[in-house]
Structure 1
Amino acid sequence: MGRQVPAVARALDILELFLDADAVLSPPEMTRRLGLPRTTVHELVSTLTARGYLVPAPEQAGGYRLGVRTYQLGSRYAEQLDLAAEGRQVAADVAQTCDETVHVAILEDADVIYIAKVDSTHAVRMVSAAGRKLPAHCTAVGKMLLAMLPGEVLDERIPVDAALPAMTAASITSPTDLRTHLAEIRERGIAVEERESNPDVHCVAAPVRDASGAVVAALSISVPTVRWDAARTPELEQLALKGAADLSARLGHRGRP
């Protein structure tokens, strides 16, 4: 853990005051409850208001209530909780069918975060966990998600002159080669990873869509190299596609994945 930033902690203390029953608070009330200097509270309230986390309360002069930005963050958190819960159920169904490890992951900047994982029953299995973060370009789920980004967003997250880190000797390290690979993934609608994040693991991944049709996650099937058989790839790809479609349907998607 790095050093905590006092100003950020104080801003969060102000927001957390609204977790109590009070829907409206004034800066003097915040100052009294938190024991902070009056000037500090006013500066923090001004900043939080400018960013949409607080808004003036019309029913009370000098009072503030939570702004729409806090609702947006809460809604986003709830969406991810739903995605994680539904993802685990679908991952369990897929894992039961193929008896391999199944993950569901989301994209954060240029990384993927695994939000659900169900293990195989084999003695040889993946060492991974929900909550783990990896470079997206080294994983099947990450490449699937990167492939679905608009070009300008991809350029922001992975600039064409970026130095891509390698996790194994098979990792893609050239942004140009990555873009060529992502174009192929977009064309096929499926991503394959061959020992790019782990020298002993192969993966296939498919996109998960929400009710609006946007790609919000990816579902992957991971197989240790000792059990990997190229002839089985089409079967695993179809299973990943079906699992991703099932999860998409649970999230309200009604179109073709």
Structure 2
Amino acid sequence: MARVVPAVIRALDILELFLDRPEMSAREVIERLDLPRTTVHELLVTLVERSYLVAVPGQPVRYRLGMPVFQLGSAFAGRLDLVREAQSVARDVAAACDEAVHVAVLDGAEVVYLVKVDSTHPVRMVSGVGLRLPAHCTAVGKVLLAGLDRAGLNAALSHGPLTGMTPASITDPDRLRDHLDRVRAEGVAVDVGESDVAMRCVAAGIRDHSGAVVAAMSLSAPMIRWTPQSPAEWTGLVREGAATLSARMGFRAARR
């Protein structure tokens, strides 16, 4: 099992001190964290070198947050915009079919669900915002994996063996890569009992202004409610929903 790195934890502790005050001196950092003077000095020098902290002009032993912290915060704020817009679009898609709609992002080898709009049926999918699942077992995850370049996919699949959630889960890496080629070509992915034996899902990718797949939207329902018309109808709904959300994120599809 990987271990945490104490020096990184201490550096983050220093940065978090600035959440409730705009400036701090080296002495204040030492006192607040009860760390050795030498340790704090080395960490401050490192953070200044990377511009996460900058010295206050005319006061070289006082510090404030630097531009990279703002950039990271802006990136996170962009994700929050995704959540807000996704909730709106997901509600519209769910209203059109009265089934569960999710929006998720990729985090390593897992998907994290950011948005869920449930159906009104008494039998529904058990899930929730913040839930993590193996990406290769879900429709949203397969869309997101298919959106990675070769290096990104290799990294995502390097976290360990592909563990199945049901007998239908794809656990062979070569088979998964072939499957992702089809997902990439078709633009949608389907989960037929791969994460839950009683559920079926279809998902499509959400792109940002650069065209990168940054999230995925899925429509999920118990298999007992899938009819012969469902695949075409619900695939169309999730494609349209993902396209609408992509447009709100700044994506402009190429004209044919």
Q: Distance in 1 between matches of 2:253 and 2:52?
A: 35
Q: For residues 171-218 of structure 1, what are the alpha-carbon distances to aligned partners after superposition, in whole Å with 9 as ceiling and x for unaligned?
A: 000000000000001100111110000011000000101122211100
Structure 1 unaligned spans of 5+: none
Which residue does 2:13 correspond to in 1? 13
C-alpha root-mean-square deviation of aligned residues, in Å?
2.3
The 8 Å contact of residues 94 and 102 in structure 1, kept in 2 or not, is answered as: yes
Tell me the matched-pair count. Answer: 253
Within the alignment, does 1:170 sit opposite 2:156 as a pair?
A: no
Give the counterpart of 2:206 among 205, 208, 216: 208
Identity %: 55
Matches within 5 A, 1:108-257: 108-159=107-158, 162-255=160-253
Deviation at 1:39, TM superposition (A): 2.2
| Deviates further, 134-143 or 63-72 | 63-72
Alignment-mate amino acid for residue 180 of structure 1: D
1:71 Cα deviation after fit:
2.0
Question: Could you state the TM-score of these two structures normalised by the residue count of structure 1?
Answer: 0.89
* Mapped partners of 2:219, 2:192: distance in 1: 12
C-alpha distance in structure 2 between counterparts of 1:253 and 1:36, whole Å = 48
Residue 28 (structure 1) aligns with: 27
Answer yes or no: is the 8 Å Cα contact 1:162–1:175 preserved in 2: no
| TM-score, structure 2 as length reference | 0.90
Which of 132-141 and 244-253 deviates more? 244-253
Q: Classify 1:35/1:152 alpha carbon distance in 2 versus 1 (closer, same or farther; 3 Å).
A: closer
Q: Determine if contact 1:49/1:55 at 8 Å carries over to the other structure.
A: yes
Counterpart residue type for residue 190 of structure 2: V
